[in-house]
Copies of this chain bind each other. A is one copy, B any other.
């Protein structure tokens, strides 16, 4: 009987669950709304129901070899999601233990969502063969998975790679973490929205984005506006890239990676995000790193990399 792994990618908005074979083929996939579930146990039950429903989706019979979870603030060492600011449940959530209870005898491994994306990139994507690289996830927030000498950088407590909470502007924008000036308040889907609103406040340029409320505005809309030549949208990407590039240059100074992969919603804006980011990164690196560190899009389809990475945790 075929052995498959379940990969669970928990995002602030949606949770995607996939069933993955040893070659990285996703044989079944589904998603639930993360925000809909105010009760964490009901949320877990919905995930479990989705996994069980795959028995009917996949034609061949199979055994579930393991479950891998990529979650914001997921701690590899403890199996808990700890104080994730963009999830509806506060405190320490014993995700791995509770999932294990729903799937007795099946091993459950949990890590940070960005770490899962890095593992996915290393095993199935553009980082194949690389031993030192970073994956930066630009979603609702900003995460990073850093691979050093072929292994994920977890640090002493499992929380290494909190690049989104590097402070880039002292006394800058308020962050969900309770502090100010964190990178993710500038470089993320939420960050670029805030930048658009800042520009609309400061400038008089006409913009299609003036018709959209803050809550309605998405990174995709800003991207579409940029493609259509909207000056505010283009400038918002420019500002976002400046902040991100500067932070990546500092990341290079500390970890000296071969490449940095941009991943997630905002990375789909292509040249609108890559060009200003690359420019700012190059301008802020020491001379001997200039033109040497690759800044790349994910080598696998965005939607799947996190699921593949989570599933790959089972084998990793």
Contacts and interface: CB of A to CB of B under 8 A. Distances in A.
B250 A167 contact: yes
A46 interface: no
Given A167-B249, A249-B167, A160 B288 contact: no
Interface string A72-97: 00000000001100000000000000
Given A149-B151, A250-B250, A288-B83, A256 B156 contact: yes
Contacts of A161: 254, 256
Dominant SS among interface residues on chain A: loop
A163 interface: yes
A159 B289 contact: yes
Contacts of A170: 246
A155 interface: yes
A292 B155 CA distance: 13
A31 to B, nearest CB: 29
Nearest to A286: B165
A159 B288 contact: yes
Contacts of A288: 82-83, 159
Contact of A165 (B82, B158, B253): B253
A149 B160 CA distance: 12
A161 B253 CA distance: 6
Contacts of A144: 254
A245 to B, nearest CB: 11
Residue in A153, A179, A246, A253 whose Cβ sees the most chain B Cβ within 10 Å: A253
12 contacts: A82-B288, A132-B156, A153-B255, A156-B258, A161-B254, A162-B253, A162-B256, A165-B253, A165-B286, A166-B253, A167-B250, A254-B254
* Across the A-B interface, the 7 shortest Cβ-Cβ residue pairs: A155-B256, A160-B256, A156-B258, A132-B156, A162-B253, A166-B250, A159-B256
